[in-house]
Amino acid sequence: MWQDKVIALCQIGAIVALQFIIWSDKKPSLLSSIMNTVFPSIVAYCMYTLHFYFAMTTAALIGLSWGVIAAQILLARKSVQS
């Protein structure tokens, strides 16, 4: 179903966007930022092809953990500014 492919691509896009938020703040090495972006995307897409609901859960957990990291970065930035 093409709708499932669109959802999987949106998940991968969300992972990439969160990684760029983290990368723009921390400025890690290019290799580690590529690995942190590409590897979860490949894992999410492979799990999507194996089982759709399992992939949804995995992508949600990855997104949640990276969302927590991004929130910690934003909070640290606010505390430095104040």
Please determine, for residue 70, whether its predicted confidence score (pLDDT) is greater than 70.
yes
Quote the number of domains for the chain.
1
pLDDT at 61: 72
Q: Which residue has the tokens 């723009």?
A: 24
Cα→Cα distances 66→5, 37, 47, Å: 22, 11, 19
- Domain range holding 13? 2-81
pLDDT at 79: 75
User: How many residues does the structure list for the chain?
Assistant: 82
pTM for the full predicted model: 0.36
Nearest to 46 by CA among 37, 38, 55, 35: 55
Cα→Cα distances 53→9, 19, 24, 56, 60, Å: 15, 23, 32, 5, 11
